[in-house]
A and B are shown apart, each in its own frame.
Chain A
Amino acid sequence: MTPFRDMRIAEAFQVSLAAPDDFEGWRDVARRLVRADIPPDRIVWDSPADQSADLFANGDRRLPAPPADAPQPRASRDFLQLAQSAILHTDSSRFPLLYRLLWRLQAQPRLMDDKADSDVRRIDELARQVRRDIHKMRAFVRFRLIEEADGERYVAWFEPEHHILRANAAFFVRRFNTMRWSILTPRGSMHWDAKTLQEGPPAIREDAPSGDPVEDLWRKYYASTFNPARLKIGAMLKEMPRKYWKNMPETALIPELIAGAQAREARMVDAGAQDFGEKPTTLGQIAEAIQSCRRCEIGCNGTQAVMGEGPESAALMIVGEQPGDQEEMQGRPFVGPAGKLLRAHLEDAGISEEQSYVTNAVKHFKFVPRGKRRLHQNPTAKEIDICRWWIDGERALIRPRLVLALGASAARSLLGRTVSVQKERGVPHVLDDGSELWLTTHPSYLLRLQDQGRADEEKKFANDLRKVAARLSELTR
């Protein structure tokens, strides 16, 4: 082999830095080399972590002495700031890049403003990647609690991409000042005992604890705070790339959360979507269809549905809550005790049966069995909302001028919101088809009251019916 006797070999200088993140060391040497007027291509940089396989790596380790009268090199503040970050990068070309920039800055003091210059762009890029790694370490370190002889210690295993451990330790000191903690990484470790920070040797994953009971809570939180109706996997990966996943306890859940998400949303929408098909065109169709309606739990309890009753031309529609025990057995609305009370009051108010169509907000009877009896249960808002399809169908066919809702369930059915009957009774509400809605209590409520309370409420009930009667005769005049 011919000896490669290039002038550059003889004149190349090799600089070995004490550590891969040794900014002060780099700065001192770089200043000296600039003052000695050594151009960038004659320096080979090295550090313990950057095993340089450079052809010229056998350069002179003795640095040239700068002339005594050489001026101090100049560097702009933004260069120094960027350099302090960029030097933490693992790319071994960072040292020559920084020196090249420093060298060029001597002739071009505003060089750093030229953001389109390729060296400036490169240092920007390196610094940005380092800053991001620093930020992600602050975000993704996960401590696990261990009990030591002298108290608690929080220990984390983390694998940063760049040489950021030392630069980042101050953050954890500021934040967890009163805790004792250790951060172990493949390149070194940091230990804080609530007073002093100590550096330790490189560690392996097995040096760190393998779990912490609180992680179960954290995983539960992670899974619960995730909204399956909005899957944005790309956005997640952009900010939390896979390389960090292996040291974060919650990330093991991600595949199943994603797989389950689509199914969960579809279920939610399906549960809400009630495809009733075409609107019914006759009352007979409704009467038939409600018998086989299974869209809510009440419809599935095996009872018979009860259809409204009355003339199709009725100007008044009276809406109760749901059929009761008697109504269900007979298949007719308002035939039990509450119905009797209602009929008596209607007669007193002068409202004839020929004028009124009576029906219920919910078509099936909801109850709980107690021995031989069936105890009435209120339908839920959801059940009322589902059954609204049928009552809307009845209203569309009968087109009453006036609707009287008995009790809160009927009021919810007609207004689509939770209503306080006591607050909103006695005044007309306008429904979407232009008809008038009046609210009053349900007669079964009156039946549950006693003595003076009952007398008072019945008086109010009678009063409401009288107003409805008066309004009805106005509307049908």
Chain B
Amino acid sequence: MSQTAIIAPKTILERLEILADAAKYDASCASSGTTKRSSAGGKGIGSTEGMGICHAYAPDGRCISLLKILLTNHCVFDCHYCINRKSSNTRRARFTPQEVVDLTLSFYRRNYIEGLFLSSGIVKSSSNTMEQLIEVARILREEHDFRGYIHLKTIPEADPELVARAGLYADRVSINVELPTVAGLTRLAPDKSATQIEGAMTSLKDSIVEAKDARKRFRNAPKFAPAGQSTQMIVGADAATDSDIVGRASTLYGSFGLRRVYYSAFSPIPDASAVLPLKRPPLMREHRLYQSDWLMRFYGYAPHEVQQAAGADGMLPLDIDPKLAWALQFRGDFPVDVNRAPRERLLRVPGLGVRAVNALIAARRQRRLHLADVGKLTVSVAKVRPFIIAEDWRPLLLTDRADLQALIAPKRSEQLELFAS
């Protein structure tokens, strides 16, 4: 391949357009869960307060919390699902580390963002690219005393020492597992290796745990990625079922101490590779996976229980949420008495969230709860009713009715698939 034409240097505005566009397929934009910092006392700029802030929302419903860009979208890798792959016909651009720093600070001072989420295509070598990413974080932290949020995407193929340095500047580090199955990864990301990705995630986890330990003993021990590590899986680009994905996610949470697993519904990209499916999976599928993720993290469901909510084809139903699907399959576990049942059982009732369960438990210490009381604490008592017993309510045969799903499932909204032909 030859570089024949000399391309005129692009303006900051043009490059921002290209490099933000190239970064947008990463779902994560979280800026929460890090240590509390502020610039009170007249030093530095910025603060973090535990809870992240979404400074805007795009019409895709996603939160804009961080300046999410690539340092460059030139890439020597050729991953089929990626718009920046070597063989893609996309426009290319690059920022210098200083340019990213200036952009971050001028956005931050105007209160547009919580900080920076920086990633990059691989240029020259993985280690060289990683060094550039770290340099941006270093300038922000050391030269500008920046106390906002920094999320660095780390490159699994880079020198482990560099990855370790990234954690000293960043609040969060992440490595994308990309695809739920190794077969998918081999087929769609031929330059990446599952072993290498997992190896890098393990060493990040070790560094995070080690630094936490050290800080328990020495107050001044350096912090290492205080907001932990996360990862992303692309859904719908390979043949993995929801059941596969749920299994994989729970392994990831377990083995690598991840804070979050993000699911990104594969979306058609310009100049797509012929190996990819043309149409995206329904966005609802991504939503159902997040719901099942929540069930495992906050509702005490074991991975195999979430998998039980899936149909014979291993897919979670799209028309009802996984919690309701599980309840419909295990009707013997219901109804649950809101005045006596333990917390774990109450959390299984479709329509009762964590907050509602907390309120019910606090309220029932005061007096016996009637159906009307439950109604005041939930969004829809009609949905909850078949699964509970209250002081003045017993569902009788309702729980066993064959058409229960039709009675409580939301009316199917055609908007789910606005673009389906």
Contacts and interface: CB of A to CB of B under 8 A. Distances in A.
A245 to B, nearest CB: 10
A188 to B, nearest CB: 19
B61 A232 contact: yes
Interface stretch (A135-143, A279-287, A327-335, A469-477): A135-143
B272 A177 contact: no
B267 A227 contact: yes
B280 A227 contact: no
A115 interface: yes
Contacts of A7: none
Interface stretch (B34-42, B210-218, B226-234, B294-302): B34-42
B110 A144 contact: yes
Contact of A271 (B18, B190, B270): B270
A258 B106 CA distance: 27
Interface in B29-80: 38-47, 49, 53-64, 67-69, 78, 80
A385 B276 CA distance: 11
B275 A229 contact: no
Contacts of B120: none
A144 B13 CA distance: 19
Interface stretch (A44-52, A211-219, A454-462): A211-219
Nearest to A412: B87
A418 B78 contact: yes
Given A142-B111, A156-B111, A174-B38, A231 B60 contact: yes
Contact of B53 (A138, A257, A261, A378): A138
Contacts of A228: 60
A70 interface: no
Interface string A188-217: 000000110000000000000000101011
Contact of A224 (B16, B57, B374): B16
B369 interface: yes
Contact of A143 (B21, B68, B111, B278): B111
Given A116-B369, A175-B38, A418 B87 contact: yes
A273 interface: yes
A417 B275 contact: yes
B55 A272 contact: no
A417 B190 contact: yes
B268 interface: yes
A235 interface: yes
Contacts, number: 223
A380 B64 contact: no
Given A116-B376, A221-B20, A233-B59, A378 B1 contact: yes
Given A116-B373, A116-B376, A175-B39, A226 B110 contact: no
A178 B403 CA distance: 63
B186 to A, nearest CB: 10
Contact of B55 (A139, A273, A381): A139
B149 to A, nearest CB: 12
Contacts of B53: 135, 138-139
Interface string A82-101: 00000000000000000000
A363 interface: no
B377 A115 contact: yes
A254 B59 CA distance: 7
A231 B62 contact: no
A176 B109 contact: yes
B7 interface: no
Interface string B80-91: 100000111100
Interface in B96-111: 103, 106-107, 109-111
A194 B42 CA distance: 7
A174 B87 contact: no
Interface stretch (B317-325, B346-354, B358-366): B358-366
B17 interface: yes
Contact of A225 (B24, B80, B190, B372): B24
Nearest to A170: B40
A227 B268 contact: no
B13 A220 contact: yes
B419 A381 contact: no
B46 A232 contact: no
Contact of B280 (A154, A216, A229): A229
B164 interface: no
B356 to A, nearest CB: 9
B280 to A, nearest CB: 6
Contact of B40 (A118, A140, A177): A177
A268 B268 contact: yes
A277 B89 CA distance: 26
Most chain B beta carbons < 10 A, residue from A233, A273, A381, A416: A381
Which secondary structure dominates where chain B touches chain A? loop
Contacts of A113: 362-363, 365-366
B402 interface: no
B57 A235 contact: yes
A115 B38 CA distance: 35
Contacts of B110: 142-145, 154, 212, 214, 218
A239 B376 contact: no
Interface in B252-268: 265, 267-268
A268 B363 contact: no
Given A173-B40, A239-B54, A272 B272 contact: yes
Most chain B beta carbons < 10 A, residue from A142, A175, A216, A222: A175
A396 interface: no
A41 interface: no
Contacts of B275: 385, 416-417
B17 A224 contact: yes
Interface string A111-126: 0011110100100000
A386 B274 contact: yes
A398 to B, nearest CB: 22
B357 to A, nearest CB: 11
Given A171-B47, A232-B61, 16 more contacts: A115-B377, A139-B56, A145-B110, A179-B109, A224-B24, A227-B62, A229-B268, A230-B61, A230-B283, A254-B59, A262-B419, A266-B419, A272-B274, A272-B276, A382-B274, A416-B275
20 contacts: A113-B363, A115-B362, A116-B374, A142-B112, A143-B109, A171-B47, A175-B39, A177-B44, A217-B13, A218-B107, A230-B60, A230-B265, A230-B267, A232-B283, A239-B57, A248-B56, A272-B274, A381-B88, A386-B274, A418-B87
Interface of A: 110, 113-116, 118, 121, 135, 138-145, 154, 156, 171, 173-179, 194-195, 212, 214, 216-218, 220-236, 239-240, 248, 250-251, 254, 257-258, 261-262, 265-266, 268-269, 271-273, 378, 380-382, 385-386, 388, 416-418
Interface of B: 1, 12-13, 16-18, 20-21, 23-25, 38-47, 49, 53-64, 67-69, 78, 80, 86-89, 103, 106-107, 109-112, 187, 190, 265, 267-276, 278-280, 283, 359-360, 362-363, 365-367, 369, 372-374, 376-377, 418-419
Shortest 5 CB-CB distances between A and B: which pairs? A232-B61, A235-B61, A381-B87, A385-B274, A115-B359
